[in-house]
Chain A
Amino acid sequence: MIRIVLPAHLKSLAKVSGEVQLDITGPVTQRVVLDALEIRYPMLRGTMRDHRTGQRRAFIRFYACEEDLSNDPPDTPLPNQVATGEEPLLVIGAMAGG
């Protein structure tokens, strides 16, 4: 079971509160997790990464286990603590004014 923490605006959009939990089989990578998240919550498509290219939006960050994983290649395995559900994957809206 994978735990994901969304930023407030995306929680509102997906109509969820608290963490999102996903069951994923096979390798747990950023791409696999985001694919599963977007299948469960299709309204999130395009909000974290580009529809076509899959490229992370500039002001979105992915943190886990006190590490910034944002710039890791999307097929890199996520930390084992994320894969086991011990730690959540944090989706962050980067701090910026406005």
Chain B
Amino acid sequence: MSGVRVLVGTRKGAFILTADGKRQDWAVSGPHFGGWEMYHVNGSPADPDRLYASQSSGWFGQLMQRSNDGGKTWEPVGNEFTYEGETGDHLWYDGTPRPWEFKRIWHLEPSPDDPDTVYAGAEDAAIFRSTDGGGSWHELPALRTHESAPRWQPGAGGMCLHSIILDPVNSDRMFIAISAAGVFRTDDSGKSWQPVNRGLQSGQIPDPDAEVGHCVHRIAMHPSRPDVLFMQKHWDVMRSDDAGDSWHEISGDLPTDFGFPIAVHAHEPDTIYVVPIKSDSEHYPPEGKLRVYRSRTGGNEWEPLTTGLPQANCYVNVLRDAMAVDTLDPCGTYFGTTGGQVYGSADGGDTWAPIVRDLPAVLSVEVQALP
């Protein structure tokens, strides 16, 4: 591997950070699409120079950008996201029915083997797919029309579909997660979906172990073990060993029960990372110390990673799509903060350094290993 490319989406544009395999000296490109909210920028595993970027604003709505040269140049592609058929209602915050209304794309997940195929997770929650490089988008409507959908309710950030995991072994299987509905799995390429939330406990919903209604913040998988899923939920860190059929808590000795991102080490499937955040009203790191917690035992036993991270007076947040790992050896880990810092570690989290300090609030971080 010759280097890495970190793709950063922020509240006011996108930035591309590149370095060689040592990951010490970084070049910063951007802002791309300055002034626009860039919820997610992601690259195709099949063609690292093919990038997709979700661009939006409250004024001008949703746009989608595509690059064929690793982010040097971009072209706008299709931005029409239309729910198929009857839109139906979900629950609003006050418990009244509310029609589905498209707001933005939160997450883009390119296919592992076709640069022109990419999935998009929307607010209000739905999944779309493009098979022509983003030129046109078509909903997989069976998710939004699931019998439980009228009971879905938005989390504080909106009713967003924020996680999409494509099973690397079984191409018919994928997992998605919605705040605040929960995790759903399809085993037939999106023709049908089932909620897979058994074992989740959410104390502040009326039925703590309801089939849907859980505020899942993020799910992650190691590609070598597709039946094992990790989850950062609004409360608790969870694990499933049976593709979501059942979950058990692995929060162990974490200092809080809240956080947004969760990531798995590229070469150690039982090494996972979270960033504990103080819940429920503050949403900043406990004690003003920014700490990544790492478990090397698949959960329950966690160690704080602090070297190079601010350990006083730090009150940033790390959002759900703002952590990523690269596939170099040793594994690189990255995360971005609402204070505009992007931190990187070239040694699996043992030591950290800021790559950039003063970007707009970071919404998402992805990383590509470059050939």
Q: A residues bordering B, Cβ < 8 Å? A: 7, 9-10, 13, 43, 45-48, 51-52, 57, 59-60, 93-94, 96, 98
Contacts and interface: CB of A to CB of B under 8 A. Distances in A.
B62 A43 contact: no
B36 A47 contact: no
A51 B79 CA distance: 9
B80 A96 contact: no
Interface residues of B, number: 13
Given A9-B35, A9-B36, A13-B63, A45 B58 contact: no
A48 B60 contact: yes
A10 B80 contact: no
B7 to A, nearest CB: 20
B76 interface: yes
Nearest to A10: B60
A13 B76 contact: yes
B61 interface: yes
B80 A47 contact: no
B82 A51 contact: yes
Nearest to B35: A9
Interface of B: 35-36, 57-63, 76, 79-80, 82
Nearest to A96: B58
A46 B62 contact: yes
Interface residues of chain A: helix, strand, loop or mixed (majority)? loop
A48 B57 CA distance: 12
A48 B63 CA distance: 12
B59 A9 contact: yes
Given A7-B59, A51-B80, A59-B58, 15 more contacts: A9-B35, A9-B60, A10-B60, A45-B79, A46-B61, A46-B63, A46-B79, A47-B61, A48-B60, A52-B82, A59-B59, A93-B59, A93-B60, A94-B59, A96-B59
A54 B35 CA distance: 25
B45 to A, nearest CB: 27
Contacts of A48: 60
B129 to A, nearest CB: 18
B61 A9 contact: no
18 contacts: A9-B35, A9-B36, A13-B63, A45-B79, A45-B80, A46-B61, A46-B62, A46-B63, A46-B79, A47-B60, A51-B79, A51-B80, A52-B82, A57-B59, A57-B60, A60-B60, A93-B59, A96-B58
B61 A57 contact: yes
